[in-house]
């Protein structure tokens, strides 16, 4: 009891009394989302008879703008690392890991990042060897195959569905689409998104998903948002019909609910995110590489944040719940007293994305300090590293689940450089 109290006091003193000027940045591990891409869903013509903007490439591919903008984010991060004296010149190859999912948008984002952040340093992107498979590390599926678990998840998804209220959002979207004139109304008799129920879709080996109005609305709003980020004329963003922030908020609520229902699952996020969590905690435990960037998807950021139980935070100047190009940045600092964790969500605002200007200390992306429930932070945002590593208990929980988790070999760098 007494010993526990002393340890507790030391932690309090250590985290409150940090002299931030004497802190040294020792390790950076980022979990990021790829940059601006073409809309994910093809065949949107079904949902409106108005002319849809054409894209140069197929669905879900990084655009040229996305490639350029990821470079700007990398420049910004690299300037920050320089200000912390993190690397001297080019890093040693072993000090850096840039690892991307096998989708072209994640690979290309990672390449753009590597080339800009470590310019002329010949840092290559690592990936799972078989490029025609979604890397199991990033695949947001359930690993516990028991009926009981599936039932538990299905119930939570259904509860989220029953709690969501998209009445106004659907009405606004229907109006923008003029859905009554669309094929979906004329041929499939869905003339009002509020007239049907969304269903959950839960199949082994597949991402938890939805079917019905939420699926359709999410696909359409995704296309609007990407057109907006891409910087297309407003006449090519929802046919010029989104004129107010309130309208964007209504529409963005759709993609937020889609993420919430599918991945923000109290009962499932630890399971879904388990391969990534193992991989990341292995890097934290080893203390190397010094710098790691994992490039995945919004589903990865969502499930990892949910599994680690971060406190809710305010996401400013963005309408996406997990903004494109955004990165959750785990930072390890040390001073004479000990080691600390700071976690920031660094992401570009909607306006920065649309404007497409370079980022710098004069045009900073958002940097939101995050706090883990299990590791309270000091006023300046630090919590004791040792407390953070105790969250490894999450991994004990996962380990107890044994063979049903097909964790990949963790320290082996896989695949050929891109
Ligand atoms: C399509 O490609 C052309 C030529 O490369 C480019 O000028 C144009 O901006 C691209 N449009 C879009 C929407 O990506
Ligand atoms: C770049 O790195 C690769 C291995 O990662 C190596 O094969 C190649 O020779 C390097 N190129 C230069 C110019 O250093
Ligand atoms: C790569 O994955 C595809 C799709 O699952 C599969 O058909 C193919 O055999 C795999 N290739 C190798 C070399 O394993
Ligand atoms: C849903 O929200 C609308 C306002 O946007 C409200 O009028 C309606 O009563 C709500 N429906 C339910 C079931 O809470
Ligand atoms: C799978 O989930 C069920 C229901 O939550 C749980 O009782 C069981 O322990 C889990 N199995 C594994 C291997 O984690």
Ligand nearest to the backbone CA of 131 = 3
Query: Model confidence over 306-331: pLDDT tens digits?
Result: 999 999 999 999 999 999 999 999 99
Two tokens, residue 313: 């935070």
Which active-site residues does the annotation give? 34, 298
Please tell me the class of the 147-263 domain. alpha beta
Q: How does DSSP assign 73-110, residue by residue?
A: HHHHHHHHHHHTT--SSSPPGGGEEEEE-SSHHHHHHH
CATH classification for the domain delimited by 21-40+60-142+269-404, as one of 3.30.70.60, 3.30.530.20, 3.40.50.1240, 3.40.605.10: 3.40.50.1240
Other beta carbons within 10 Å of 148: 8
d(CA 101, CA 295) in angstroms, rounded, equals: 6
* Mean pLDDT score of the chain: 91
The answer, yes or no, to whether residue 251 has pLDDT greater than 70, is: yes
CB 245 within 8 A of CB 215: no
If one compares 411 and 203, the residue with the highest pLDDT of the two is 203
* pLDDT tens column, 376-401: 999 999 999 999 998 877 666 666 66
User: In the chain, what are the domain boundaries?
Assistant: 21-40+60-142+269-404, 147-263
Give me ligand 2 centre to Cα 126, in Å: 14
Q: What is the mean pLDDT of residues 75-98?
A: 97
Instruction: Report the pLDDT value the prediction gives residue 401, as an integer from 0 to 100.
Output: 60
Q: Give Cα separations from 245 to 228, 229, 249 (angstroms).
A: 13, 15, 6
Rounded to whole angstroms, the Cα distance separating 101 from 137 reads: 8
| 229 Cβ inside 6 Å of ligand 1 | no
pLDDT at res. 18: 82
Position 21 scores a pLDDT of: 87
Asked if 21-40+60-142+269-404 and 147-263 have one fold, the answer is yes
Report the alpha-carbon distance of residue 314 to residue 200 in Å, rounded.
28
- Is the Cβ atom of 355 under 6 angstroms away from ligand 2? no
Distance 145 CA to ligand 5 centre (A): 8
Q: Could you tell me the distance, in angstroms and rounded to a whole number, from the CA of residue 166 to the centre of ligand 4?
A: 8
pTM score over 0.85: yes
Query: Taking Cα atoms as reference points, which of 310, 230, 301 lies closest to residue 32?
Result: 301
Confidence of residue 233 (pLDDT cuts 50, 70, 90): very high
- Give the DSSP H/E element, type plus range, for residue 292: strand 291-296
SS3 343: strand
């Amino acid at each position: 009891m007494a010993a526990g109290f002393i340890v507790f006091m030391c932690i309090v003193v250590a985290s409150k009394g940090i002299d931030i000027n004497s802190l040294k940045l020792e390790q950076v591990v980022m979990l990021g989302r790829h940059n601006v891409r073409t809309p994910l869903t093809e065949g949107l013509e079904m949902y409106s008879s108005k002319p849809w903007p054409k894209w140069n490439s197929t669905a879900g591919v990084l655009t040229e703008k996305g490639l350029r903008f990821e470079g700007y984010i990398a420049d910004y991060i690299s300037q920050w690392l320089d200000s912390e004296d993190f690397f001297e010149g080019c890093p040693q190859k072993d000090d850096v890991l840039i690892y991307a999912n096998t989708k072209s948008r994640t690979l290309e984002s990672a390449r753009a990042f590597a080339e800009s952040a470590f310019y002329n340093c010949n840092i290559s992107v690592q990936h799972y060897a078989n490029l025609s498979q979604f890397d199991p590390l990033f695949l947001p599926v359930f690993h516990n195959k028991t009926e009981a678990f599936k039932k538990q998840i299905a119930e939570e998804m259904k509860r989220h569905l029953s709690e969501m209220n998209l009445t106004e959002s659907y009405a606004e979207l229907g109006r923008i689409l003029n859905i009554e004139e669309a094929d979906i109304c004329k041929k499939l008799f869905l003339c009002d998104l509020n007239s049907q129920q969304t269903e959950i879709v839960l199949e082994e080996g597949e991402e938890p998903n939805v079917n019905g109005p939420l699926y359709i609305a999410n696909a359409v709003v995704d296309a609007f948002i990407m057109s907006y980020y891409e910087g297309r004329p407003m006449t090519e963003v929802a046919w010029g019909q989104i004129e107010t922030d309130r309208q964007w908020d209504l529409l963005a609520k759709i993609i937020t609910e889609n993420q919430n229902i599918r991945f923000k699952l109290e009962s499932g996020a630890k399971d879904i995110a388990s391969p990534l969590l193992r991989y990341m905690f292995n890097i934290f435990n080893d203390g190397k590489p010094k710098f790691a960037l994992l490039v995945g998807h919004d589903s990865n950021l969502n499930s990892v944040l949910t599994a680690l139980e971060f406190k809710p935070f305010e996401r400013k100047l963005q309408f996406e719940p997990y903004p494109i190009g955004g990165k959750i940045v785990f930072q390890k600092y040390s001073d004479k007293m000990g080691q600390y964790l700071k976690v920031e969500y660094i992401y570009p605002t909607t306006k920065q994305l649309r404007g497409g200007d370079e980022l710098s200390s004069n045009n900073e992306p958002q940097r939101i300090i995050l706090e883990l429930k299990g590791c309270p932070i000091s006023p300046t945002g630090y919590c004791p590293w040792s407390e953070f590593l105790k969250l490894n208990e999450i991994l004990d929980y996962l380990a107890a689940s044994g063979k049903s988790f097909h964790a990949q070999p963790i320290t082996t760098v896989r695949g050929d450089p891109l």
